[in-house]
Structure 1
Amino acid sequence: MRPLPSPARNPYWRFLVAGVRGQSAYPLATLAGLTANATFGLLKGGIMGAAVDSSGGELAGYSAATMAAFVWLGQGMLGSVNFWGGSDLQNRIRTGDVAVDFLRPVSVQAAHVLTDIGKGLFALLPRGLPSVVIGLLVSHMALPPDATAYALGLVSLLIGIAVSHATVYLVATTGLWLVETRGVSVLYMSLSGFLAGLYTPVYLYPDWLLTLALCTPFPSMMQLPIDVLSGRVTGADAGQHLAVQLGWLAAVLVAGHLATRAGRRRLEVQGG
């Protein structure tokens, strides 16, 4: 019987590990990110808490505890979820280095998405988890009711990170036609956080805007994982959240694959 191949020899596993290692090389940047998360978490927590109190203790189904969970879990995810639209692929397309990527016997999409996911996974420990611990110390944030909810929350979080980076890859592929994609990145940055629930729960939006947000992949990056992680949804509702996230992950991956194939045929490097 042939021995099973070691994961360490799998090139795609190595891309994931490379992302983790690459991000770990910047401890001061990670510390600065944690400081920013804590600072803005305190400000945001005070504002959202006051909004709940002024509404009689409940706002769009949020109590003080669940709103605190929304704030601090969101702050903990900031280092892992890409709302800024930037990626290494954008620079490689602009400089022409992406031509080398296309010559390699691996998927360009998988290589870049897995590397970015690795960076996001690393940020969970030195930046994400401490942010949540700070939230637990300064507020009475809600927690999942049982171990199953914790497990589902972790799965939802990982899917949200993957959706984020797969979508940013799709944004970067526009460079195969446009070359300069800073405008597209700014548009993505403007829309993604707002529709994902970065600033306020999407359930506070007017019905038409909430419907619009739910028709995009952005809530799957933050709002839905927070719902599951905080225990705001459990059981079948949590399973439905995960199904929606998986659907969007599949959609953006397929869109990224098709865009890569189509853009590769149009790519020009140094005029030809």
Structure 2
Amino acid sequence: MLQLEKGKYFGIQNKAIHLDNLIITDTEYTHDKVDWHTHQNPYFTFLLTGSMQETNKKESYECSAGTLLFHNWQDAHCNIKHPGYTRGFHIELEQDFFDKYQLPLSQMEGSLKLYNPVFKLLFRSMYMETKYTAGIELLSIRESLFKVLGMLVNEKHRETARQPAWVKKIKEVLNGSDIFVLSWDTLASIAQVHPVHLSRCFPKYFNTTVGDYLKKLRIEQAAGLLTKADVSLTQVSYECGFADQSHFIRSFKQAVGVTPLQYRKIITAR
């Protein structure tokens, strides 16, 4: 089976940044189909635009813009790219990154599809850093990676432990398509727990509060809509449930690091 060398992906590499034990790339996917392969190092893929089908030894799933994946180095997978322009942002971590910072790579084996908007917005912010930051160190990228990896390790610990039944119910609802009509009482009713208990325990399993989670989901949806040139900023703001456009712009910049208009210009550039 083919194993790709570090920093190599199938497609056209638009940009590559080598930082000690990190390799950061922006790649346009040009192959309609990619056969089974592995990579030399573990890495994250954040799908910036387009869509594809990802298959590993355990499962197959559809990936659209905004999908975040983690692949360990030994994880074999294959891909089918759907028609259209498709681009991915990769952060590859060499083994000495895990050794240096004493991170347990063994606890993140296999392929993971990450749904939490906290993770996704950190990757959107890191991508913006590669576009705007001139300093080669890009310290904020390392800081964001530490946050992601720390939360991932905690999630793996929680998954191996016994989780309350309401956690699975809430995850299914939050990963659905109708999250913007959810109320606090509705979530508590779905979880079948007291609202106070939900408020107190939610951060333990979702890495943030209920309110912040829902806010980040709205920003994630907005980021996806911003890739569509025919959708105005006003329409994006309205469809994602923001009170007004100024609130939308302020919230988006705080989460991603740039304004919605700046983000649209960068993400749609070819």
For normalisation by structure 1, the TM-score amounts to: 0.30
Structure showing greater Rg: 1
Task: Tell me: higher relative CO, structure 1 or 2? Use CA pairs within 8 A at least 6 residues apart.
Answer: 1
Higher helix share: 1
For normalisation by structure 2, the TM-score amounts to: 0.31
Higher strand share: 2
